[in-house]
A and B are shown apart, each in its own frame.
Chain A
Amino acid sequence: MARLTSRSPRWWRGVVGVLAGLYFLVPMAASILFTVNVPGQGFSLSAYTGILSASGFGQSLLLSLELAAATIVVVLGLLVPAVLAVRLSAPKLRPVLEIVCSLPLVIPSVALVAGYSDVLQWGPQYLSRTPLFETFVAVQNPGFPVVLVLGYSVMALPLAYRALDAGMRAVNVRTLMEAARSCGASRWRAVFQAVLPNLRGALLNAAFLTLALVLGEYTMGNLLGFRTFAVWIVAIGGEQAQLSVAVSVLSLLITWALLLVLAFAGRARSRTSRRSAVSVAPALIPQESA
């Protein structure tokens, strides 16, 4: 059958493929061309070599990666128990969880940030005489702004929830749980040794989407005045256009590399992962800077 259909002339498949390819590749090719073609000098990699020496590059990238790691921990720590609980013991609460996790999609991040910055402003005033004042200062530590982790966690909820939910649909969590328990595993061991290993793909998916979101997030970082990677790219773009595009291209490559690392990490440890570990293509790259 497959052979028959592939023999019949499906020329439009090629057309669609080419169009889609052009749509994705032309802007990238243009970006790359722009970065390596210095007016008057011809081909030059100076934009790329300049990245390493540009002030703030390593710092902001490191900050964003740290924030991403913390956000992944928070999001998975919140969502995995919640989704499992909804599957196993409180199926009636499922719509509630679904709505809560979809809310961030409805609220634009600008509105979210406006709320955050308001609270960050009046909070210290009202609480200046209490120990909470220190908390407000601590969460805004520019070295590691916890407030961004909180914000990113909220923004990542819809993505991570979808990824986890899809993974849970693919395995029969309840039966796995009961099978493990009838084999003498306590509740905890059943979760960790029978259920979670089979959700590895979903967990990686959720983690990756969160990572992509955090690396590309600009609005919140910028409006709250922190120098995250996306913020730095935009800032440098104002001074050195070529450098900023070079950084964008580089960040795309970095993201792909991370994707591959995560996917391979998933494969290597579970030879069984028939479902590809990471199936959702990320929409990374700070759009604002392009």
Chain B
Amino acid sequence: MTVEFRSLHKAFGATKALDGLDLTAHQGELLALLGPSGCGKTTALRMLAGFEHPDSGQILVDGEDISGIPAHRRDAGMVFQSYSLFPHLSAAENVAFGLRMRKVGAAERRKRAAELLSLVGLPQHADRYPHQMSGGQQQRVALARALAMRPKVLLLDEPLSALDAKVRVTLREEIRRLQQELRITTVFVTHDQEEALSTADRVAVMRDGRLEQCASPAELYDSPATAFVAEFVGTMNRLPGRVAADGTVQVLGQRLPVRGGAHATGTVDVLVRPEAVEVHADEHGAARIMAAAFHGAVTRVTVALPDGTSVKVDVSSHRAGGLAAGAAATVRLPERPVLVDPVAGGAGSASAALAGSVSGQGAEGGLAG
């Protein structure tokens, strides 16, 4: 089933939750809505569920406008952020709740509930009450409950945010497995970029009620359409650079091509991922190591450039030995095209030079989230 948001607008008093959202989720895909809090992702999801109504715009499911259909007839299973199981019902009764609403017979309900509980890995928990289960188990039951009615679309509203880190990772893998097994169109709201990148087929990054970019996780990471996306997804360094007339950018004493071509000359910020920066201990180097944080396989080294800019560099941990805080070092970039972002308000930077289409708004690129 295809879900299509068409120029959705919604304001809560003075705040615009959605400001012209256009987005499509294709049949059978897991689409993640990612963005900082207040970007409208949850509002969009709740509109699809029927709990909010757009001020203008349409929501189409398989091409049909569902605006007039009340929430309980929308055929959408939903898992909520907070624990939402009915406390007075056992796990099996919770899962069967939707079937009871549809007047499915008791025997059939029991059978289906048992089936779903084993699907989410909790076959022996049928008689437990919500307060007798852990947070992760409760969310699994909630997932089973959402799937029990064979909904056309599965809505996940930050279902993992209340869980601890380990459970979060296993459960998100499980959600992905189930979703692929059942081929159900799924919209997954999250503010956790790692969660979005690791589970979704496509990720829609939202900001201020609008879509910034919707692309596959790899594309989003490698070629972010706007500076906002670049900085929201993963970590980005901003290095001062200068675009020359020949379209190359001068950064860290190197001359590198600009990805997507330079559209302006003058002062820019060069955006580079920490893993794309090279740092070497060098007693004659002008840069200085400020800190090194061990993250297991990689060590994140913070380096201060002579002009005061700090750069985050990910170094494979077994090579990080000489990079202790206080050591002198040199920093360089590999010979590859780089992404540049005009300095906000900087003279001579008429337009942004980001890959793909670029909005002036995106280039203001403050850190968010």
Contacts and interface: CB of A to CB of B under 8 A. Distances in A.
A176 interface: yes
Nearest to B155: A182
Interface residues of A, number: 25
A194 B86 contact: yes
Contacts of B97: 180, 183, 185, 193-194
A196 to B, nearest CB: 10
A176 B73 CA distance: 17
Nearest to B75: A184
B76 interface: yes
Nearest to B86: A194
B129 interface: yes
Contact of B82 (A172, A180, A182): A172
B88 A197 contact: yes
B145 A183 contact: yes
A113 to B, nearest CB: 41
A186 B72 contact: yes
A189 interface: yes
A143 B218 CA distance: 80
A179 B87 contact: no
B72 A179 contact: no
Interface residues of B, number: 31
A272 B87 contact: yes
A183 B101 contact: yes
Majority secondary structure of chain A interface residues (helix, strand, loop or mixed): helix
Given A184-B149, A194-B86, A178 B78 contact: yes
Contact of B77 (A182, A187, A193, A198): A182
A181 interface: yes
B84 A185 contact: no
B80 interface: yes
A175 B146 contact: no
Interface of B: 49-51, 70-74, 76-78, 80, 82-88, 97-98, 101-102, 129, 131, 142, 145-146, 148-149, 155
What 8 A-B pairs are tightest by C-beta distance, nearest first?
A: A183-B98, A182-B78, A179-B84, A184-B101, A197-B88, A181-B71, A175-B84, A185-B101
9 contacts: A172-B82, A172-B83, A179-B78, A180-B86, A182-B71, A183-B72, A183-B149, A193-B97, A197-B88
